[in-house]
Structure 1
Amino acid sequence: MLAHEIRVRVARGELSPLEVAQAYLKRVRELDPRVQAFLTLNPDLLEEAQRVDPGLPLAGLLVAVKDNIATRGLRTTAGSRLLERFVPPYEATAVARLKALGALVLGKTNLDEFGMGSSTEHSAFFPTRNPFDPSRVPGGSSGGSAAAVATDLAPLALGSDTGGSVRQPASFCGVLGLKPTYGRVSRYGLIAYASSLDQIGPMARSAKDLALLMDALAGPDPLDATSLDLSPRFQEALEAPLPPLRLGVVREGLSGNSPGVERALEEAVSLFQGLGFAVKEVSWPSLPLALAAYYILAPAEASSNLARYDGTLYGVRAEGEELWQVVEATRALFGLEVKRRILVGTFVLSSGYYEAYYERAQAFRRRLKAEARALFQEVDLLLLPTAPHPAFPLGARPDPLAMYREDLYTVGASLAGLPALSFPAGFEGHLPVGLQLLAPWGRDELLLRVAWAHEEATDRAFLRTPLGEAL
């Protein structure tokens, strides 16, 4: 059952929030051992469900929350041994806003450690599996959230997207994932990876469900100086007639797609033309180079943000007689991929290399943004694949550079601060394929309106639940 359908039934009194919570908890206990989407379940879920006012706008809706988003009183690990026992005394603004409207946190989902990865294999605890094929990855770093929604272990989920961590797993798991305009959703309570890029984003099986979440999540927050004062109007946007739109298809430098991805792209272009879109190919010259700039800027910010985990104030403290021994032993608990990115980031910020790497990457970022602004004078939306292929097998990307290339199509929107949405657009064999829509800064609603039009035109053909019947 989709989230907006649950909402209607609870409002009518056909279901109580407690009955919804009991049904999903039962489903998680039956199916999650095959998927391993969750790190922690909310032990107070049923008690909280009994207290929810059924008249609240999100009453009865359960949300799976990525485990780098703080939940008061509920363990938040960021997928790392350093925070294995961390129970926050505060709540992320995104979570607090959902709870205030009657939503319930079902549990915390698995992720690549500190959000650093594209497969959820870099979790310090265990890998999550793709619900369409347990021998394959769900994508990352929000793989647990994507797998939970795809399997209907939760109707809604929160992930975080730094360079594609909501969109790529959404593509691999056949769900929708939105990276909002930078600042549209408060980052307060999100454990930082790269602060100029990180965004909390919703995941669901329908654009209508994403609209429900975004109306609750979006808005300014005094606890986050980067948050934007843009009025939420996502559900309202879905009701508006679809205006004539110009769609730009980006192909430049994006080659090597699998047959299923190419087929999905061609079918989507035909569908949008049938809806009255004016479609043309466009050039975004700097996009193929965005990956290199991203893997300078994001590790640089990570090396600064993760310096706090030194055993003196935050997280686990290892034992040692001298301070340097404490710091060394504590930071040894970082996983290999986290260590790799800290080292890269520290190098590019070091004396003699700062100008050669970091400053040049920042200049490139400005150029990428300028090109995007110019592009959106020509077209209203951009369309490109989310990933060049469907989900790959567990263990198939031992080379870190091969894993980094998974972000090829997603980092452009991240560096430019643009809203981007991955939506299910086809299958390659039994595996889902997603496509990505990008909109101008602050036009997140337009993405959901177009995704909703795609759902209606395809009769929701891609909204499949791979394990068992959906609730």
Structure 2
Amino acid sequence: MSLFDHKLSEIQEWLHTKEISVNDLLNEAYNRINEVDGEVKAFLTLNEEAARQRANELDALRGTTEGRGLLFGMPIGIKDNIVTKGLRSTAASQILDNLNDPLYDAHVVQKLNGAESVTVGKLNMDEFAMGSSNENSSYYATRNPWNTDYVPGGSSGGSAAAVAAGEVPFSLGSDTGGSIRQPAAYCGVVGLKPTYGRVSRFGLIAFASSLDQIGPLTRTVEDNAYVLETIAGHDKMDSTSADLEVPKYTEALTGDVKGLKIGVPKEYFAEGVSEEVKTAVRNALKVYEDMGATWEEVTLPHSKYALSTYYLLSSSEASANLARFDGVRYGRRSPQAENMIDMFKLSRSEGFGDEVKRRIMLGTFALSSGYYDAYYKKAQKVRTLIKQDFEKVFANYDVIIGPTTPTPAFKVGEKTEDPLTMYANDILTIPVNLAGVPGISVPCGFSSEGLPIGLQIIGDHFDEGTVYRAAHAYEQATDYHTHKPSLGGAN
């Protein structure tokens, strides 16, 4: 049995009683990576030399008052669009392939370092977080540990796959339209997108700044709460960071949901959602009923416009954010350029992949003269309506529950030639980003092919505590989170 099969709180206790060492945990991580990552391909860059040095320093603190962080000594994986000082950070794009030595740490990495955790390496992703399958990485596609013929989801597919495969006990991802929750559902792990502003975006390589949010992927809800407690909080370097006290989320994990009022959107069971997914979610609602919660059908009427709204807004923001990658200050500079104009054109055409170019072009079009009012401005108005839909439901209900994804994971290569069908995989997660509210995905069943199915629990702004309470109670009443893929003989 792997050390990573245990909760973080248990591992912490063993560390402080010196039953195990930080080096033991690091050995567990790198041995597992060597064993299975040739198949899974979750990591882009490993940090072994620096991690070993850090582990030796932390082992000297075991059992002392200094070594008492929530995540003391824990090996972690970081999504490759989160900047790490001195450790290669590429956002899985060729245009940043030579960014080997960033000059600073992202705020979340500073927080993790302050909690005395150990960075194992950087995790694969869809290029610049644009994708739903991890097939858009410019290096290689990550595979789903449950069945390597299937995708792990995206864009945080490497982050989810690394946790599911037992390579690290937890990881960080980013969620712009479902990029934490969707891969969490596909890989059978727990993934949270916090309220927009709860976690600093400083040091996150931007895709769409009004939608991006960093969050944790873990094996259990309790572990997830531990990680969010560590990384959340105000940051003066991020003007959108909320200056609010961070609750002790672990105190919300009472297991009691008696009297909890659940809203279930009828739109989340519409055409396109598979019968297996609908059945798994309905069974989950029965579990809540048995625990004393109540649920009623509600409506989020503008959610049908969420997909088009999201792709107009996110692509518009992406076209502005990615303008900085021009071959001048940092990143790829084409050796073929003979003049300045060629340098701009060739560096960007060689450095960006097809999906990134597609979204830059769509965003530039939506922001262009004559089309701004017709597309971008109208999408912003619809975003407000979507946010108001959530506010109306939360006036009467504690959480909203539905599927995380319309179907379980699909096969590698199955949808790469059909971008619109690929985009539709995020149809149930995108409204949460547009509204800025928190959402979590927890395992709630398996398909006939043995692939995980995710349950999405959505809360009101800055009410992650209630989301965790509902998720933890369900997790404790079921055993889906205890199942592990058999990749590499883990079972």
The alignment's TM-score, normalised by the length of structure 2, stands at: 0.94
Is 1:85 paired with 2:98? yes
After TM superposition, the runs of 4+ consecutive aligned structure 1 residues lying more than 6 A away are none
Match of 1:109 in 2: 123
Is 1:14 paired with 2:19? yes
Q: Which of 375, 382, 390 is the aligned partner of 1:357?
A: 375
**What is the rounded CA distance, in whole Å, between the counterparts of 2:368 and 2:28 in structure 1?**
53
Give 1:360-371 correspondences, 5 Å limit.
Answer: 360-371=378-389
**What is the rounded CA distance, in whole Å, between the counterparts of 1:185 and 1:312 in structure 2?**
31
Give 1:41-56 correspondences, 5 Å limit.
Answer: 41-43=46-48, 44-52=50-58, 53-54=61-62, 55-56=67-68
Give 1:213-362 correspondences, 5 Å limit.
Answer: 213-232=227-246, 233-239=248-254, 241-242=256-257, 244-252=259-267, 254-319=270-335, 320-332=337-349, 333-362=351-380
Structure 2: segments with no counterpart, 5+ residues: none
**What is the rounded CA distance, in whole Å, between the counterparts of 1:381 and 1:236 in structure 2?**
18
Displacement of 1:459 in angstroms is 3.9
Match of 1:373 in 2: 391
Q: Which moved more, 1:47-56 or 1:126-135?
A: 47-56
Displacement of 1:241 in angstroms is 4.6
Deviations 1:20-44 (A, max 9, x none): 1112111111111110000001132
In structure 2, do the counterparts of structure 1 residues 359 and 452 end up closer, same or farther at CA, with 3 Å as the change threshold?
same
Match of 1:72 in 2: 85
Match of 1:437 in 2: 457
Whichever residue aligns with residue 173 of structure 2, its letter is G
Whichever residue aligns with residue 290 of structure 2, its letter is G
Whichever residue aligns with residue 472 of structure 2, its letter is W
Query: What is the aligned-residue identity percentage?
Result: 45
**What is the rounded CA distance, in whole Å, between the counterparts of 1:92 and 1:469 in structure 2?**
35
Match of 2:208 in 1: 194
For the 8 Å contact 1:131–1:467, the answer to whether it is kept is yes
For the 8 Å contact 2:256–2:473, the answer to whether it is kept is no
Match of 2:41 in 1: 36
Match of 1:148 in 2: 162
Q: Which of 443, 448, 460 is the aligned partner of 2:468?
A: 448
**What is the rounded CA distance, in whole Å, between the counterparts of 1:350 and 1:51 in structure 2?**
54
Whichever residue aligns with residue 115 of structure 2, its letter is L
Displacement of 1:239 in angstroms is 4.1
**What is the rounded CA distance, in whole Å, between the counterparts of 1:119 and 1:230 in structure 2?**
34
Displacement of 1:250 in angstroms is 1.2
Deviations 1:104-136 (A, max 9, x none): 111100000000000000000000000001011
Whichever residue aligns with residue 71 of structure 1, its letter is T
Match of 1:135 in 2: 149
Query: Secondary structure at the residue paired with 2:487?
Result: coil
Displacement of 1:219 in angstroms is 0.6
* Alignment root-mean-square deviation, CA: 1.4
Displacement of 1:258 in angstroms is 1.8
Displacement of 1:77 in angstroms is 0.6
Query: Secondary structure at the residue paired with 1:315?
Result: coil
In structure 2, do the counterparts of structure 1 residues 246 and 425 end up closer, same or farther at CA, with 3 Å as the change threshold?
same
Displacement of 1:460 in angstroms is 5.0
Match of 1:164 in 2: 178
Displacement of 1:255 in angstroms is 2.4
Query: Secondary structure at the residue paired with 2:395?
Result: helix
Query: Secondary structure at the residue paired with 1:433?
Result: strand
For the 8 Å contact 1:212–1:234, the answer to whether it is kept is yes
Q: Which of 394, 400, 406 is the aligned partner of 2:419?
A: 400
Give 1:404-443 correspondences, 5 Å limit.
Answer: 404-429=423-448, 430-443=450-463
| Count of paired positions | 471
Query: Secondary structure at the residue paired with 2:141?
Result: coil
Structure 1: segments with no counterpart, 5+ residues: none
**What is the rounded CA distance, in whole Å, between the counterparts of 1:248 and 1:442 in structure 2?**
18
For the 8 Å contact 1:10–1:16, the answer to whether it is kept is yes
Whichever residue aligns with residue 470 of structure 2, its letter is V
For the 8 Å contact 2:184–2:454, the answer to whether it is kept is yes
Query: Secondary structure at the residue paired with 1:314?
Result: coil
Whichever residue aligns with residue 441 of structure 1, its letter is H
Query: Secondary structure at the residue paired with 1:221?
Result: coil
Whichever residue aligns with residue 379 of structure 2, its letter is A
Match of 1:23 in 2: 28
Q: Which moved more, 1:152-161 or 1:58-67?
A: 58-67
Whichever residue aligns with residue 369 of structure 2, its letter is S
**What is the rounded CA distance, in whole Å, between the counterparts of 1:150 and 1:29 in structure 2?**
15
For the 8 Å contact 2:257–2:292, the answer to whether it is kept is no
Deviations 1:201-221 (A, max 9, x none): 100010010011011011101
For the 8 Å contact 2:77–2:122, the answer to whether it is kept is yes
Whichever residue aligns with residue 53 of structure 2, its letter is E
The alignment's TM-score, normalised by the length of structure 1, stands at: 0.98
**What is the rounded CA distance, in whole Å, between the counterparts of 1:103 and 1:255 in structure 2?**
44
Q: Which of 408, 411, 414 is the aligned partner of 1:390?
A: 408
Deviations 1:63-105 (A, max 9, x none): 1100000011110010000111202110011011011111111
**What is the rounded CA distance, in whole Å, between the counterparts of 2:124 and 2:281 in structure 1?**
30
For the 8 Å contact 2:189–2:481, the answer to whether it is kept is no
Query: Secondary structure at the residue paired with 1:96?
Result: helix
**What is the rounded CA distance, in whole Å, between the counterparts of 1:401 and 1:461 in structure 2?**
32
Query: Secondary structure at the residue paired with 1:378?
Result: coil
